[in-house]
Amino acid sequence: MPKVLAIVVTFNAMYWIDRCLGSLKNSSLKPDVLVIDNCSLDGTDGYVDENFTGVRLIRNEKNVGFGAANNQGLRIALDEGYDYVYLLNQDAWLQEDTLEKMVDAFGQTRRYAVLSPVQISADGKLDAQFSKKCRKYIKKDETISEVPFVMAAHWLISRRGLLTVGGFSPAFDLYGEDDNWIDRAHFFGLKAGVVGGARAVHDRAGRGKPPRGADREVRKACEDAARQRRLRLKCISTIVKLSNPGHSFAARLIVEPLELLGMSVKNLSDVPAKFIPQLLRRSRELRRLRKQSKAQGAFLD
């Protein structure tokens, strides 16, 4: 029986934690479970400790970020000889047979570093971001469909993939780290895929939406906040491109500030333009981390 460690990084996860950890408990293939709490303020860590016996809990003294917290668990997985690691978002949960189907699929190939199930929303529809990034690549007649990218809400990583690609880059605090990890997998000749017969939930419902019955002013404020968030994510994408070991760093350092300026003009916003000095200040650090990412097992020392 393959040895699987499920890693759940939490921060103020009380709304989802029962469904998230409960799905691991009810999985047909039982993983060991590690929760790494990033100094939650809502009592998540205490609740997990009291209500989920058998779950290993690490309490970080501060919020170290998604990537760094996952790296703590990935290092444990390597040290303790796990065959697979399942990265599960706090706002996500499995169906009973999800993990079993994915491990079975992984056993049939060595070309892939990471696999994901088909990610659906809590209402059973295809997750919007999953649909945007992956839907057109999924073939119904294939057990595994290769995709250029899939979100890390549900990732099954093989030990070989982990030893080769390593952990998440410190270049990213939140968002972009999964893009970079897959870029690095491609650099090493490994693939990312989706198991068409496996399903799992990523619950994004209601995020950033105005309350029901909200007046025009509140709706506009929510829309503006969502727009600013989308722009910030696009800014982070420039760090992703600079950090890709398959790209020319010097060329991207010229192109990315120009793209940020174009983004500012197109969106009539100064957010991307203000990101340029930060990007340039970090160029030496990003170059160093990009070079480091070319080593097998990077960021898990």
pLDDT digits (tens, 9 = 90+) for 222-259: 555 666 677 888 899 999 999 999 999 999 999 999 99
Above pLDDT 70, what percent of the chain? Answer: 92
Q: What is the pTM of this model?
A: 0.93
Within 8 A by CB and 6+ apart from 157, the residues are: 74, 84, 85, 86, 87, 113, 114
Q: How many CA atoms lie within 13 A of 261 on its CB side?
A: 6
What distance in Å separates the CA atoms of residue 77 and residue 139, rounded to the nearest whole number? 32
| Residue 222 or 296, more confident | 296
Instruction: Please give the average per-residue pLDDT across 76-96, as a whole number.
Output: 98
Q: How far is CA 209 from CA 3, 131, 212, in A?
A: 40, 20, 9
Domain ranges in the chain are 4-202, 216-292
Token look-up 């990077």 returns 298
CATH superfamily of 4-202: Spore Coat Polysaccharide Biosynthesis Protein SpsA; Chain A (3.90.550.10)
Tokens for 28, please give them.
């047909």
Tell me the per-residue pLDDT of 256-285, one tens digit each, with 9 for 90 and over: 999 999 999 998 889 899 999 999 999 999
What pLDDT, on a 0 to 100 scale, did the predictor assign at position 215? 59
Q: Is pLDDT of 218 > 50?
A: no
Tell me the per-residue pLDDT of 108-123, one tens digit each, with 9 for 90 and over: 888 999 999 999 999 9
What distance in Å separates the CA atoms of residue 217 and residue 104, rounded to the nearest whole number? 51
Tell me the per-residue pLDDT of 178-207, one tens digit each, with 9 for 90 and over: 999 999 999 999 999 999 999 999 998 755
The one-character DSSP state at 126 is B
